[in-house]
């Protein structure tokens, strides 16, 4: 392999690494924690949402738990369901409050009537 090929390979490697790194999400740390819905959901009970550092999330309602994955993208929390749906969650108050758009239509806002608001549960509480 001559020097030109090596230079080309180096440039391409940089491009690929840049693309791969560019595809990674932002840091999850500010939003890791346990949250509880402000209002009861479906007349049953409150929803408990546990966002873990490893990108796993647990959504618990009425004793039943659902497993999701989540990332942070452009300051919003994206929750991925196994079926392929994405729930966009908008943090506010420095991550203490999360507003989840339950339409699954990826609205950047949180439409009234389809919005579930969560509040962070204090550590140990």
Partner 1 sequence: MKASDKPSGAQGEAGLNLSHLGQAMRVPAGTRIVSQGEAPEYFYVIQSGRVRVFRETEDRIRTDLTELGGGSYFGEVALVTGQPRTASVEAAEDSLLIKVSKDEFDRLLDQNPQLARHIIHQLAGWLVAGDRRLETQVVHQVKLRQISWFDYVLMLGLSLVLALVFNLYNDNRLPLVHGIGEAEGVKEISLSQAKELYDKKEAVFVDARKSAFFDQRRIKGAQNLPVILFDIMYPMFQFTLQQSEEAKDKTVVVYGGAFSRRLDLDLAHLLINRGVKNVAVLNDYRGWEKVFPLVEQTPKEPASLPLGLPGYLEWVPVGIFLLILIPPIRRSPYLSVFCRLLLGAIFISFALSKILRPAVFALNVVDYNMMPAWGVNLWALALPWAELVVGLFLILGIRTRAAATIIGAMNVMFIAGLVNAIFQHMPINCGCVGEVGEPVNWWKVLKNTGMLVMCIQIFFYDRLMVLDRGGFILRERKI
- Tell me the CA distances in angstroms from 73 to 50, 52, 64, 77, 101, one per residue in order: 18, 16, 28, 6, 15
**CA–CA separation, 26 vs 53, rounded Å?**
12
Interface ranges with partner 1 (CB under 8 A): 2-5, 8, 12, 15-16, 19-20, 22-23, 41-44, 59, 61-62, 66, 69, 73-74, 76, 78, 80-88, 102-108, 114
Q: How far is the CB of 58 from partner 1 (least distance, A)?
A: 12
Other C-beta atoms closer than 10 Å to the C-beta of 117 total 16
- In the complex with partner 1, which residue's Cβ is closer, 2 or 123? 2
Q: In angstroms, what is the minimal distance from the CB of 33 to partner 1?
A: 20
The distance of closest approach from Cβ of residue 44 to partner 1 in the complex, given in angstroms and rounded to an integer, is 5
Contact criterion met (CB below 8 Å) for 53 and 34:
no
């Amino acid at each position: 392999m001559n020097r030109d090929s090596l230079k080309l390979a180096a440039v391409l490697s940089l491009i690929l690494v840049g693309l791969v790194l560019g595809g990674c999400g932002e840091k999850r740390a500010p939003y890791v924690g346990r949250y509880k819905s402000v209002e009861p959901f479906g007349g049953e009970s409150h929803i408990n949402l546990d966002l873990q550092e490893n990108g796993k999330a647990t959504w618990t309602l009425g004793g039943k738990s659902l497993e999701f994955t989540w990332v942070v993208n452009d300051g919003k929390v994206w929750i991925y369901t196994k079926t392929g749906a994405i729930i966009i969650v908008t943090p506010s108050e420095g991550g203490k409050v999360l507003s989840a758009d339950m339409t699954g239509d990826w609205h950047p806002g949180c439409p009234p009537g389809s919005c579930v608001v969560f509040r962070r549960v204090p550590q140990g509480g």
